[in-house]
Structures are given as structure tokens and as C-alpha cells.
Amino acid sequence: MKAPLFFIGTLCLGLSVLTGCRGEKRPESTLPKETTTSGIITICVDETLKPIIQEEIEVFEGLYANADIIPKYTTEVEAFNELFADSVKLIVATRSLTDDEIAALKSRKLFPKISKIAIDGIALITNRSNPDSLITMEQLHDIFTGKTTRWNQIYPDSRMGELEVVFDNTNSSTVRHIIEQVCKGDSLAGNIKARKDNEDVIEYITQVPNAIGVIGSNWIGNADDSTHLSFSDRIQVMLVSSDPIAFNGNSYQPFQAYLAMQTYPLRRDIYMICTSNRTSLPYGFTSFVSSEKGQRIILKSGILPATQPLRVVNIRENL
């Protein structure tokens, strides 16, 4: 028997956002003075979060015609480097600042506003021809530390051969989270490869049957499914269990409900970190994403909003 499926809805009804069609970016000289809803800025965004932040930007710019937000999609490491160099005033990342980092910024008269905006999952994706989809955290530990190198070490009947693990980038936030959450002090090892970005990881997985891709779950949602109970049909999403043995009833995929109930083990928080003042466009955009409207956009994307009131609905399957 499969575990019951759930979907998340809001306690309030309806969502109406203006997406609008925007023309080309206007020259900076023609823009009005920067406010919370006008001006031109560049922000750094962890590339694993590109789909949801791009949507937030499009809606914000549709609502505020005098605002131009230019996203620089990059690695987590580079995003923080840009923030600490004061090259940008706003980054979106999957970790907060440490106490030492906050103190260092404050010593330079930069006072960071840290806003938790969402929770997503690290998704493990495989080729659709791979029949094996259940895995435990212990088995993942052995894969990511190089102890398990072949599929038949996990599934004795598997004919998939040697295991490949594919990340988007060596400086990616997904690499850091796997080291922290799965390896737990052990070094990352084994047949590990890095591609250009998350989109490239998906493309690679569609062509390589023996590989496991590690990406942000906001890359794999099914845009046509309003209940968020399915993923892209280009790939297969593995079910992960925290128990010693994985079976359907105790293994989960990074659906919204399982992120909310904390049953999917590979969760991570998403933050916006702003170092500009309250009258600036970076601050205004951060406030928008944290607002009810911005949080509803996150809800529609398939990941979990940080502040939107939610209800979890049990959908009983016909047996």
C-alpha cells in the first residue's frame, strides 16, 4: 500500500497577480530615483533557486513598472562573496549568515536584514528507465562517501551498473547541504561529476540511465498540476527514507506537504539577505517576497512558503 498523498492549500482563497508584459530594460539614466518600488538593481541568486526567484521578479516588475531587478544567477559561494564585497545589496541563498559574518558586515556599517522566505527540498533524480526509486539516508551516505559505487550494492537485482552522482557545480549549495546533511563529517567521494547548472543536470539524467542527479526541487515541478502531486515527466524522483529500510509507506519525495510535515529528510531553508536601507529597492523587493502575495507565488511554485498560513489535506487513494 502506498503512503497517502497530501496537498497544501492556503487558508485564504484566490490569488491574483499581475504578470504583465515588460519591454526591454530602460537605461539607468531614465529611471526615477530609487525607492522601494522603483530604480534599477542587480541581485545575486543561488542558481538552484532560479525558477522561483525569476517568477517573483517578473510579478514584481509587472506590478511596479519603474522597477528593474537584474538577477545574477550564480553559485552560493560567489553570491556571498559579492555580498561581503558590497558589490550587491541583496542575495538569495539557502543559508543564513553566521554570527561572525553579521559582525563583520556591521563593522562596515552594513546592517543585514535576513528574511526566511521558503523551504524547499534537495531532489534526487534518476533516468525514467531506472526501476529503483526507494533509498535510505544511510544508503545515500554510503553513495556520497564512495563506499557504494554500483547499483547492485543497493538493489541486488539491478543491472544499472556503476553509479554516477551529478551535481550542478562544485561550489553549489546542494553540494554543501549533502556534505552537512548526508555525509555528516565524512568527505564527499566516489564517481562524482559536476555539470554547468541545474538545467544541465536534468538534461544529463535524461540521457544517462545509471546516474543520480542532485538538484533543487523547484526545478522539477509540474506546472500543469495545481495540487503539486506530480513532478516533471522527463525524470524520476527518488523516494527517501530516514528509517533503516525503505518501503513505500516510510519514503517520501519533496512534495510541499512532506516538506511541511518534515517527513522528507533533505529539506533546506531559503533566505533573502539585504544590506541596504528601508527606502531602497532591494528592501522593497525583499518585503514583497515576504508578503502574502509573494508567499502565494512560492506556494504556487510547488515549494513551501515560510510565512503563508497553510492547511494540509489528505487525499485518500482508491484501493
Last residue of a domain, one of 245, 267, 289: 267
What pLDDT band is residue 313 in, cutting at 50, 70 and 90?
A: low
What's the grid cell of residue 107?
Answer: 563593522
7 CB neighbour count, 10 Å cutoff: 17
pTM for the complete prediction?
0.86
Query: Are residue 242 and residue 148 in the same domain, yes or no?
Result: yes
Say if residue 26's pLDDT is above 80: no
pLDDT at 305: 96
Query: Are residue 97 and residue 44 in the same domain, yes or no?
Result: yes
Chain centre to alpha carbon of residue 237: 15
Query: Are residue 36 and residue 96 in the same domain, yes or no?
Result: yes
Contact 69, 22 (CB under 8 A): no
pLDDT at 307: 85
pLDDT at 220: 85
Of the chain, the percentage scoring pLDDT greater than 90 comes to 77
Say if residue 83's pLDDT is above 70: yes
Say if residue 5's pLDDT is above 80: no
90 Ramachandran zone, left/alpha/beta (phi>0; psi -120 to 50)? beta
More confident residue, 201 or 12: 201
Q: Which pairs count as long-range contacts for 296-301, CB under 8 Å and 24+ apart, including other chains?
A: 296/10, 296/15, 296/17, 297/15, 297/17, 297/52, 297/55, 297/56, 297/59, 298/52, 298/56, 298/117, 298/118, 299/8, 299/10, 299/15, 299/256, 300/15, 301/51, 301/52, 301/55, 301/218, 301/221
Say if residue 228's pLDDT is above 60: no
Of the chain, the percentage scoring pLDDT greater than 70 comes to 83
Query: Are residue 107 and residue 243 in the same domain, yes or no?
Result: no
More confident residue, 248 or 318: 248
Query: Are residue 126 and residue 261 in the same domain, yes or no?
Result: yes
The count of domains in the chain is 2
More confident residue, 31 or 49: 49
pLDDT at 185: 85
pLDDT at 110: 96
Query: Are residue 226 and residue 293 in the same domain, yes or no?
Result: no
Mean pLDDT of 242-263: 94
pLDDT at 176: 95
286 Ramachandran zone, left/alpha/beta (phi>0; psi -120 to 50)? alpha
Q: CATH no. for residue 175?
A: 3.40.190.10
**Can you tell me the distance from the alpha carbon of 99 to that of 112, in angstroms, rounded to the nearest whole number?**
11
* Domain interval for residue 32: 5-119+268-315
203 CB-near residues (< 8 Å, 6+ apart): none
Query: Are residue 198 and residue 222 in the same domain, yes or no?
Result: yes
Query: Are residue 77 and residue 99 in the same domain, yes or no?
Result: yes
Query: Are residue 42 and residue 177 in the same domain, yes or no?
Result: no
Residues in the chain: 319
- 86 by DSSP, 3-state: which? coil
